């Protein structure tokens, strides 16, 4: 994941600390400093739900029974 963030689109350069600072500044300007914790909380909840659903075995679903008499 970090490799995706650091490689440029053309694969020529890397994102340095100054670029990350500019991106962070743009995020603060777009969403506001008060909104960022709420966005991160939602992101964390989503990641937690995804991990939980990928680790738990699937629950059996109720459907038509195969042993029902036909005819």
Whether 52 is in a domain gets the answer no
0.95 surpassed by pTM: no
Instruction: Assign 1 a pLDDT band (cuts: 50, 70, 90).
Output: very low
Residue 65 confidence (pLDDT): 62
Whether 57 is in a domain gets the answer no
Check if the beta carbon of residue 15 is closer than 8 Å to that of residue 5.
yes
Whether 50 is in a domain gets the answer no
Domain that holds residue 41: 14-45
Residue 36 confidence (pLDDT): 84
Q: Tens digits of per-residue pLDDT, 10-65?
A: 555 677 888 888 988 898 888 888 888 898 899 899 999 999 888 876 666 776 66
Whether 66 is in a domain gets the answer no
Whether 38 is in a domain gets the answer yes
Domain count, the chain: 1
Assign 34 to helix, strand or coil.
coil
Whether 64 is in a domain gets the answer no
Whether 9 is in a domain gets the answer no
Query: What is the C-alpha to C-alpha distance for residues 41 and 47, in angstroms, rounded to an integer?
Result: 10
As given in the structure block, the two tokens for residue 68 are: 């029902």
Query: What is the C-alpha to C-alpha distance for residues 20 and 14, in angstroms, rounded to an integer?
Result: 11
């Amino acid at each position: 994941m970090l490799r995706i963030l650091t490689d440029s689109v053309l694969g020529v350069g890397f994102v340095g600390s100054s670029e990350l600072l500019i991106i962070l500044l743009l995020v603060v300007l777009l969403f506001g400093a008060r909104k960022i914790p709420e966005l991160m909380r939602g992101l964390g909840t989503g990641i937690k739900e995804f991990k939980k659903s990928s680790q738990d075995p699937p629950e059996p679903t109720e459907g038509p029974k195969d042993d029902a008499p036909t005819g």
